[in-house]
Chains A and B, each alone.
Chain A
């Protein structure tokens, strides 16, 4: 089924198997916890900041392939970005995940690998969990965020 191979692209499976920037960060400036009670996805995101700019980012936790790969690729792409840049990027990612392809997913670089998620509405929350957790960390929210 073509939709399914759109969802589980090789890059996603690869990041699921070997997540990048995976583990607890010692001496993080900020961290946040994200939880999806529907499926049990549960991640922490850790940040080191230079003023408004992310200088290091790591994550740990457990979840489905989509949520884990999303977290892994996210950590790759947000390093070096400012808070405002992250927010603007997330808005574009969110639009793509919810089926707004007006911009053309290819402009999102490797994040375009998640464009197939929009065909699976129940999985959008999986792909956004790490992003919501990152935003919570940037806002220095202490409580666990939830995508429910």
Chain B
């Protein structure tokens, strides 16, 4: 079946509304994606027919909820092509996954003087947890530089790895620049030095097939809400040996095998990382989201988004004073730009008045903003439900920005 964005848009109720009297154009997908009707319905069905606590009831509802919750682990396993469902840990999102790894892997394996290698294009979620670990252990945070085009310097990548490097943690796709990093190669080089690698896949899983066995990453995280699922739920993938080796994250109910006041024993991974009653509705609806996006087909999604990326990149040239930040040849459908003498915040307000949602600011990547030498950028980011008509509205609104500030 041919891919028809106009038909697919009907799956997304939120896209049908008007904002400030104009049809909504949603170009802030890198911040969060919209939810198809099937995901919204799945949440409603859970709360109307299945709501119960998991892993502890003998009654019908609890068994149903537990089965659906664990089924999601298998859906996520297939989505990432993990080897087993036990390699899937449910977390609140990518941010929690990094905090979990920093505390559980980091405090066990990363000591004073040991190095964690990240890059200059990381989101705060892949910076601050390591800084907190640094304060706790005296570890060293090393930052691989990037070029002005927004690419890692591949020839020098290996030099960043030293005998003290204990972990490489790097983004697959930059949330600001759109750059797709050649992570498979970076992982292989790190492995040549015996260093495990964690991948921030928050911005890649909405756009492309991510195969953890093909990449051979050791740890990887993504957020459900960026891939058309609910907020407050995400996935940490970890190779089985790494997960089993890590101590638990938070203590409490559900993560224990037995408890006495003298001694507690823990469940095996992934369950030892899931203390307390989890976000059951979110987990179950995330399965629906992952199945929804998978059945659309990655080739069709890529074709649609690549067209939007190319078309927008070309049409931005017609606006006087626009500069695109991030011009790597391999990009996802994310475009950051600045406009001469017009602050990003003013661009955002004027676009909003036209019903167009974009992100403006530092995008939770303040060190990258410093590297680029700008206080803020405006950013458009596309999903498969965006169309060239959306881009035309966006470009027309930018002409209006230019008129106001001329």
Q: How many residues of B contact A (CB 8 A)?
A: 20
**In whole angstroms, what is the CA distance A113 to B345 when docked?**
19
**In whole angstroms, what is the CA distance A17 to B341 when docked?**
8
Q: Is A4's CB within 8 Å of the partner chain B?
A: yes
Q: Is B349's CB within 8 Å of the partner chain A?
A: yes
Chain-B contact segment, one of A46-54, A61-69, A79-87? A61-69
Q: Is A39's CB within 8 Å of the partner chain B?
A: yes
In the assembled complex, how far is the CB of residue A54 from the closest CB belonging to chain B, in whole angstroms?
27
Q: How many residues of A contact B (CB 8 A)?
A: 22
Q: Which residues of B contact A108 (CB under 8 A)?
A: none
Q: Is the CB of A4 within 8 A of B361?
A: no
In the assembled complex, how far is the CB of residue B323 from the closest CB belonging to chain A, in whole angstroms?
16
Query: With contacts defined as CB atoms under 8 Å apart, how many contacts are there between chain A and chain B in the complex?
Result: 54
* B interface footprint on A1-22 (CB within 8 Å = 1, 0 otherwise): 1011001100001000100000
Q: Is the CB of B361 within 8 A of A40?
A: yes
Q: Which residues of B contact A41 (CB under 8 A)?
A: 345, 375
Q: Which residues of B contact A123 (CB under 8 A)?
A: 345, 349
Q: Is the CB of B361 within 8 A of A38?
A: yes
Q: Is the CB of A13 within 8 A of B361?
A: no
Q: Is B91's CB within 8 Å of the partner chain A?
A: no
Q: Is the CB of B404 within 8 A of A62?
A: no
Q: Is B344's CB within 8 Å of the partner chain A?
A: yes
Within B326-349, which residues are at the interface with A (CB < 8 Å)? 341-346, 349
**In whole angstroms, what is the CA distance A40 to B361 when docked?**
7
Q: Is B280's CB within 8 Å of the partner chain A?
A: no
* A65 with B346, Cβ < 8 A, contacts A13-B405, A39-B361 known: yes
* A64 with B343, Cβ < 8 A, contacts A4-B353, A40-B362 known: yes
Q: Is B263's CB within 8 Å of the partner chain A?
A: no
From A13, A17, A39, A120, contact of B360 by CB (8 A): A39
What does DSSP make chain A's interface, helix, strand, loop or mixed? mixed
Q: Is B40's CB within 8 Å of the partner chain A?
A: no
**In whole angstroms, what is the CA distance A120 to B20 when docked?**
12
Q: Is the CB of B349 within 8 A of A7?
A: yes
From B20, B341, B345, B362, contact of A1 by CB (8 A): B20
Q: Is the CB of B345 within 8 A of A64?
A: yes
In the assembled complex, how far is the CB of residue A148 from the closest CB belonging to chain B, in whole angstroms?
12
In the assembled complex, how far is the CB of residue A93 from the closest CB belonging to chain B, in whole angstroms?
20
Residue among A64, A66, A120 with the most chain B CB within 10 A? A64
The residue of chain B having its C-beta at the shortest distance from the C-beta of A38 within the complex is B361
The residue of chain B having its C-beta at the shortest distance from the C-beta of A17 within the complex is B341
The residue of chain B having its C-beta at the shortest distance from the C-beta of A36 within the complex is B345
Q: Which residues of B contact A39 (CB under 8 A)?
A: 343-345, 360-361, 375-376
Show the binding face of A for B, using Cβ within 8 Å. 1, 3-4, 7-8, 13, 17, 37-42, 62-66, 120, 122-123, 126
Given A4-B350, A8-B350, A40-B369, list of 7 further CB < 8 A pairs? A4-B404, A8-B346, A13-B404, A13-B405, A37-B362, A39-B343, A63-B375
Show the binding face of B for A, using Cβ within 8 Å. 20, 341-346, 349-350, 353-354, 360-362, 366, 369, 375-376, 404-405
A–B pairs, 14, beta carbons within 8 Å:
A1-B354, A8-B346, A8-B404, A13-B404, A39-B345, A39-B361, A39-B375, A40-B376, A42-B375, A62-B375, A63-B345, A64-B346, A66-B345, A120-B349
